[in-house]
């Protein structure tokens, strides 16, 4: 069964939990506290916009191309000024914002350099552009080895959906290509404290299953003897033995515009 917008909201909420500490650090570095207008590009269901009032009194603007996501965003982040639009052509005047940011957006867009250039255009001189998190599935680590196919399937699935699974490693080059000199680029480390909750684990598997279902026959040619249910069981038993490792390198970059 296909995932609903509410399922995607759960997924986005989980992703935002992984990047929470990094986000706080980057908000501090980029001066979110003193910002007056902030733009969240590809704001999805409003997960980041909903928490921003904790860090700033700025007016928060969110843009997304998907009306179903925006309708959830208006419920989760009612203080946010929302717009439906394409990140490649932001419907805002030059220098309208103090900060513009995105989180798990650039892997999904056709021209990530063009999007970052647009974010820079709508940000004022002295303001900041932040790509808070972009994954790199090519660097994913799955252990035990029997679970490694999950990473390559997810890469193939993302490609078949038009996403770039290797966007993370390209992020510094994307900022440079957009004419921005990044103040800082890096990759989020991994810390684990026990297995995920059952709800999180089931919901992660719902995403894996949905990803695989979406793959075209051409893109997805699993070995005949591979059984998703079996992998799910292996995953559960690896967690219960305390030996499961799942690491997805997640890159970030931010730049300050010249005054």
Site for ligand SAM, rule CB under 6 A: 12, 15-16, 42-44, 47-48, 64-66, 69, 86-88, 103-105, 108-109
The closest alpha carbon to 249, from 13, 10, 1, 22, belongs to 22
Minimum Å gap between C-beta 43 and ligand SAM is 6
DSSP string, the chain: -PPPHHHHHHHHHHHHHHTHHHHHHHHHHHTGGG-SEEEEET-TTSHHHHHGGGT--SEEEEEES-HHHHHHHHHH-TTSEEEE--TTS-SS-TT-EEEEEESS-GGGSS-HHHHHHHHHHTEEEEEEEEEEEEE-GGG-EEESGGGTHHHHHHHHHHHHTT--TTHHHHHHHHHHHTT--EEEEEEE-----SPPPHHHHHHHHHHHHHHHHHS-TTT----TT--HHHHHHHHHHHHHHT--EEE--EEEEEEEPP-
Nearest residue (CB) to ligand SAM, 64 versus 98: 64
Between CA 239 and CA 148 the distance in angstroms is 15
Minimum Å gap between C-beta 42 and ligand SAM is 3
Nearest residue (CB) to ligand SAM, 112 versus 151: 112
Minimum Å gap between C-beta 132 and ligand SAM is 8
Chain residue at closest Cβ approach to ligand SAM: 44
Nearest residue (CB) to ligand SAM, 65 versus 236: 65
Minimum Å gap between C-beta 236 and ligand SAM is 26
Nearest residue (CB) to ligand SAM, 98 versus 118: 118
Nearest residue (CB) to ligand SAM, 105 versus 167: 105
Minimum Å gap between C-beta 225 and ligand SAM is 32
Minimum Å gap between C-beta 61 and ligand SAM is 13
Nearest residue (CB) to ligand SAM, 35 versus 115: 115
Minimum Å gap between C-beta 227 and ligand SAM is 28
For helices 20-30 and 5-18, what crossing angle results, to 10°? 70
């Amino acid at each position: 069964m296909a995932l609903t917008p509410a399922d995607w909201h759960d997924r986005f909420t989980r992703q935002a939990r992984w990047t929470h500490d990094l986000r706080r650090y980057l908000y501090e570095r980029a001066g979110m506290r003193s910002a007056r207008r902030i733009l969240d590009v590809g704001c999805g269901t409003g997960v980041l916009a909903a928490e921003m009032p904790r860090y700033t009194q700025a007016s928060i603007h969110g843009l997304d191309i998907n009306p179903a996501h925006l309708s959830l965003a208006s419920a989760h982040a009612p203080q946010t000024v929302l717009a439906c639009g394409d990140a490649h052509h932001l419907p805002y005047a030059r220098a309208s914002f103090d900060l513009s940011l995105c989180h798990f957006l650039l892997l999904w867009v056709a021209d990530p350099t063009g999007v970052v250039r647009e974010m820079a255009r709508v940000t004022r001189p002295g303001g900041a552009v932040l790509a808070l998190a972009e994954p790199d599935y090519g660097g994913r680590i799955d252990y035990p080895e029997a679970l490694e196919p999950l990473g390559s399937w997810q890469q193939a699935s993302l490609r078949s959906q038009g996403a770039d699974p290797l966007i993370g490693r390209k992020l510094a080059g994307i900022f440079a290509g957009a004419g921005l000199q990044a103040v800082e680029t890096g990759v989020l480390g991994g810390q684990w404290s026990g297995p995920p909750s059952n709800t999180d684990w089931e919901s992660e598997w719902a995403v894996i299953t949905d990803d695989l279902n979406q793959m075209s026959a051409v893109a997805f040619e699993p070995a005949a003897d591979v059984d998703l249910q079996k992998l799910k069981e292996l995953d559960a038993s690896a967690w219960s033995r305390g030996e499961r490792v799942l690491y997805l390198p997640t890159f970030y970059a931010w730049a300050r515009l010249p005054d």
